[in-house]
């Protein structure tokens, strides 16, 4: 760490590291041990896990191996450019090898539908857990794992651009993984903005809405960090941070609050370390936002045990 200290937070500021470009590691070539799905017909639908304007997600079983997967089905007659873009994004996901990223095991086109066979996460998303009381210790474990995933992606010049509680999945092993690379973002560009902005764009950083105010610079890596900070704070307080509990979203007012208001912060009852961590994520000036690597060395993470907290298993069953 550098000797410089943040005067507001009185904690060391680690030196910002240069991002290096690496080749993405390829998935294993040994088909005998590969979990990739070769044929869509091998997957048997068991139950629906979720649905939205873009499509549905099903729990499926592989007929030959009995392995469980999540099958994401994108509906709609999207034009060829959108379809190619969705598939390109998921091809990136197939090439990633990280325990902190949901694995894509197959991509299939069937008529107007696109199917993705994904790693099955039996605990659902953090959005589904939002009604639970999420302790700082638990959120520290979530933050550590998501930051490891973001560090991997950013090191390989990949920006997620859609970090939010519904895209952070958990399993009964207490593993947290990043999901949904680009699909929600791409689909939101083809739908009515009035129906999609509050769902996804609410997690965008101020400079993405108003780049001129912030020097005309948009840093996708820093944008991911803003979205993570907002997501963690939402999980802590139980509602979207820029809105009061139970308040309905008014998109113009919400956008103004993100761009021109002060960043939200944890309540006074939160620990100093957690308040500091959220502040490091939610700097309005992206240049002052900490990177994933820097945040992994933050006292909030260092002061919490690396052992996963105990959450009742019945709360993690879909």
Q: Which residue ranges make up the annotated binding site for ATP?
A: 72
Domain-located, residue 94: yes
What is the chain's pLDDT, residue by residue, as a tens digit (318 residues)? 444 444 334 444 444 433 322 223 333 333 223 478 999 999 999 999 988 667 899 999 999 999 999 999 988 777 777 777 777 777 777 778 899 999 989 989 888 888 999 999 999 999 988 766 689 999 999 999 999 999 999 998 888 888 999 999 999 999 999 998 655 455 555 443 333 333 468 999 998 888 777 766 778 899 999 999 999 999 999 999 998 888 888 888 888 899 999 999 999 999 999 999 999 999 999 999 999 999 999 999 999 966 544 433 333 332
Residue 1, pLDDT score: 44
- Which residue is catalytic, options 36, 79, 132, 162? 162
Show which of 61, 93, 119 is a domain's final residue.
119
Residue 85, pLDDT score: 75
Q: Both 147 and 241 in a single domain?
A: yes
Domain-located, residue 59: yes
Domain count within the chain? 2
Domain-located, residue 131: no
Residue 308, pLDDT score: 40
pTM over cut 0.95 = no
Q: Both 82 and 180 in a single domain?
A: no
* Structure tokens that stand for 142 in this block: 């979530």
**Dist. CA 163–CA 186, nearest whole Å:** 14
Q: Both 148 and 286 in a single domain?
A: yes
* Structure tokens that stand for 159 in this block: 């920006």
Show which of 91, 119, 147 is a domain's final residue.
119
Burial class (CB in 10 A: 0-12, 13-18, 19+), 93: buried
Q: Both 204 and 244 in a single domain?
A: yes
Query: Nearest 5 degrees, angle CA 294-CA 295-CA 301?
Result: 130
Q: Both 278 and 197 in a single domain?
A: yes
Domain-located, residue 16: no
Domain-located, residue 238: yes
Domain-located, residue 195: yes
Q: Both 226 and 85 in a single domain?
A: no
Domain-located, residue 204: yes
User: Three-state SS for 54?
Assistant: coil
Range of the domain at 46: 40-119
Q: Both 183 and 289 in a single domain?
A: yes
**Dist. CA 134–CA 2, nearest whole Å:** 33
Q: Both 232 and 175 in a single domain?
A: yes
Domain-located, residue 298: yes
**DSSP letter at 125?**
B
Which CATH number fits the domain that encloses residue 104? 3.30.200.20
Which CATH number fits the domain that encloses residue 172? 1.10.510.10
Q: Both 110 and 183 in a single domain?
A: no
Q: Both 107 and 142 in a single domain?
A: no
Q: Is 162 a catalytic residue?
A: yes
- Parallel, antiparallel, or unpaired: how do β-strands 168-170 and 43-51 relate? unpaired
Q: Which residue ranges make up the annotated binding site?
A: 72
Residue 139, pLDDT score: 96
User: Three-state SS for 41?
Assistant: helix
């Amino acid at each position: 760490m550098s000797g410089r200290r943040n005067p507001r937070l009185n904690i060391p500021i680690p030196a910002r590291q240069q991002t290096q470009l690496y080749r993405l590691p390829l998935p294993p070539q040994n088909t005998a041990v590969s979990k990739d799905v070769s044929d869509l017909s091998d997957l048997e639908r068991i139950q629906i896990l979720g649905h939205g304007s873009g499509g549905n997600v099903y729990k499926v079983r592989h007929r030959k191996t009995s392995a469980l997967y999540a099958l994401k089905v994108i509906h709609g007659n999207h034009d060829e450019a959108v379809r190619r873009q969705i598939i390109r994004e998921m091809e990136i996901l197939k090439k990633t090898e990280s325990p902190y990223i949901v694995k894509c095991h197959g991509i299939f086109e069937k008529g107007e539908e696109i199917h993705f066979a994904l790693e099955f996460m039996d605990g659902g998303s953090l959005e589904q857990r939002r009604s639970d009381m999420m302790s700082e210790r638990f959120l520290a474990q979530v933050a550590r794992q998501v930051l490891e995933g973001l560090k991997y992606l950013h090191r390989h010049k990949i920006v997620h651009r859609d970090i939010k509680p519904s895209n952070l999945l958990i399993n009964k092993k207490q593993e947290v993984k990043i999901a949904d690379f680009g699909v929600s973002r791409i689909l939101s560009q083809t739908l009515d903005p009035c129906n999609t902005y509050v769902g996804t764009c609410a997690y965008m950083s101020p400079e993405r809405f108003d780049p001129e105010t912030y020097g005309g610079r948009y840093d996708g890596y820093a944008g991911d960090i803003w979205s993570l900070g907002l997501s963690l704070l939402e999980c802590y307080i139980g509602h979207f941070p820029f809105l009061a509990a139970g308040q309905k979203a008014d998109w113009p007012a919400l956008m103004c609050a993100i761009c021109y208001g002060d960043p939200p912060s944890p309540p006074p009852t939160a620990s100093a370390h957690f308040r500091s961590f959220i502040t490091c994520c939610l700097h309005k000036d992206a240049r002052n936002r900490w990177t994933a690597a820097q945040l992994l060395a933050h006292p909030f993470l260092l002061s919490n045990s690396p052992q996963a907290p105990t959450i009742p298993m019945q709360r993690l069953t879909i």
